[in-house]
Amino acid sequence: MTAARRTLAVLGGADGAISTIRAAARLGVRTICVDMRADAPAVAHADEFLDLSTRDVPRIAKSLAGRPDLAGVVSPASDVNLPSQLALAGRLGLPCGLSEGAVRASVDKSWFRALCARLGLPGPRYVRGTEQEVLRDAPGLGFPLMVKPVDSSGSRGVSLCHGPGELAEAVRLAREWSLSGTIVAEDYLEGAHYTAESFVIGGKVALIGLAERRLTPPPLFITVQHTMPGPAGLTDAVRPMLDAVCAEVGLREGPLSADVLVTGTGEVVLVEMGARLGGNGLAELLGLVHGVDVVEQYVLSALGEPPRLDATPSGCAAVRVLGAARDGKLIRVDGEERVKALPGVVDLVLAAAPGDHVERYTRAGAKLGYLTAAAPGRDTLAGVLDEAARLLRFEIGEPL
């Protein structure tokens, strides 16, 4: 089968899928985007659109079964679609480096905490359970606490609880975003935030980059910028931790993204993991600082081809997330072409178009898009990002 005839099923049409669909096109691979939203940002970039819920494995399998061109299935930048990816690969006989353990560690935050504890890795104390159970047990940990749904992504339903008077609202918010109705409350750990973006081959981390992560202030903790590379010593400390996790969950091949926190005492904590590409352009960053198109290698791996990760580290790169200051209707975007023409700007991905209703940036899924830039040094990189921010303007009117 030639590359031109192969088709890749992409589960989910959020902005995080755009880079995968573009990479597939560069490789001559067609794409089918599966989503219930015909206006999802990635749909317009795909060759075909399948209007189904990504959770409806039987109907997706029925729609795709018997297609000789179907060669792989992926869930880029989305934990919630990983169970469907694994199930569809099994039903349709497609390549897949995932395992049941890797999927569960990605979609259940409390299960990942227990996994880290089994491996002897540092982590916060926590309790998990129903709304009533967490309301009963969480005060025993003391405050402040982070309260989260075990099965959401993109910081949905996550909040910082300073004391008993805030617990009920924090638990209610977490329950609102949990499909399973299960909540985890854990010690709030202060420190420096990073994201480890990596690619696994043969059950071990073959390529890794640590990104410094800038967040919105508490209580929401939403990412606003990633910058690579991070401290070399910290990268060396995180790699064996991720290798241990891969061995424990049986992750054989593919991307692995993990949130990392370094406490004030220097303790390195794996906060969460996802056996998929990191969102907000993280995989592109990993590629930029190592001279490898990581997203293309992800596509090749999904098609059953061996990924090639010969790296030549150079320079630095960053992603800045674009968010609205208020809810409203997006009237127009000014400066897009001028930003794309700036030296150092690698990509500008817009997740909203004029006429769309946009939200104030209080959750990862509400972003307007993201900007990727690269430069030889950090001062130059900061200048590129600042100039792009000056040129790019989003006019937002009254809510629809």
Reported in sequence order, the residue ranges of 12-169 that DSSP labels E, i.e. its strands, are 30-35, 48-51, 70-74, 126-129, 145-149, 159-161
Residue 400 has pLDDT above 80, yes or no: no
Residue 2 has pLDDT above 60, yes or no: no
pTM for this predicted structure: 0.94
Residue 64 has pLDDT above 90, yes or no: yes
What would the two tokens of residue 359 be? 């939200």
Percent residues over pLDDT 70 in the chain: 99
8 Å CB contact between 18 and 295: no
Report phi then psi at 240, rounded to 5.
-65, -25
Give 15-56 pLDDT, tens digit per residue. Answer: 999 999 999 999 999 999 999 999 999 999 999 999 999 999
Cβ within 8 Å of residue 82, ≥6 positions away: 75, 98, 102, 103, 106, 107, 274, 275, 276
Same fold? 124-187, 316-400: no
What pLDDT is attached to residue 5?
A: 77
| Position 335 confidence tier, pLDDT thresholds 50, 70, 90 | very high
Cα–Cα distance measured from residue 379 to residue 394, given in angstroms and rounded to the nearest whole number: 26
Cα–Cα distance measured from residue 208 to residue 245, given in angstroms and rounded to the nearest whole number: 14
Of residues 246, 229, 274, 228, the one with CA closest to residue 109? 274
Q: Which residue has the higher pLDDT, 208 or 155?
A: 208
User: Does CATH place domain 3-96 in 2.60.40.10?
Assistant: no
8 Å CB contact between 364 and 351: no
Cα–Cα distance measured from residue 167 to residue 139, given in angstroms and rounded to the nearest whole number: 9
What pLDDT is attached to residue 307?
A: 95
| Position 3 confidence tier, pLDDT thresholds 50, 70, 90 | very low
Q: Where are the domains of the chain?
A: 3-96, 124-187, 189-314, 316-400
Q: Which fold has domain 189-314?
A: D-amino Acid Aminotransferase; Chain A, domain 1 (3.30.470)
8 Å CB contact between 17 and 9: no
Give the burial string for 86-95 (b: 16+ CB within 10 Å, else e).
Answer: bbbbebbebe
| 332-344 mean pLDDT | 97
* Amino acid letter, residue 181: G
8 Å CB contact between 159 and 220: yes
What would the two tokens of residue 351 be? 């997740």
Reported in sequence order, the residue ranges of 252-392 that DSSP labels E, i.e. its strands, are 254-263, 268-274, 316-322, 328-334, 345-350, 357-358, 369-375
Cα–Cα distance measured from residue 313 to residue 367, given in angstroms and rounded to the nearest whole number: 30
R_g over Cα of the chain: 20
**Strands 254-263 vs 191-201: parallel, antiparallel or unpaired:** antiparallel
| Position 156 confidence tier, pLDDT thresholds 50, 70, 90 | confident
Which residues lie across from 379 on neighbouring strands? none
How many Cα atoms occupy the beta-carbon half-sphere of 97 within 13 Å? 28
Choices 3.40.50.720, 3.60.15.10, 3.40.1280.10, 3.30.470.20: CATH for 316-400? 3.30.470.20
CA dihedral 278, 282, 288, 294 (to 10 degrees): 10
- Looking at domain 124-187, its CATH class is alpha beta
What pLDDT is attached to residue 1?
A: 40
Residue 306 has pLDDT above 60, yes or no: yes
Cα–Cα distance measured from residue 52 to residue 90, given in angstroms and rounded to the nearest whole number: 19
What pLDDT is attached to residue 96?
A: 96
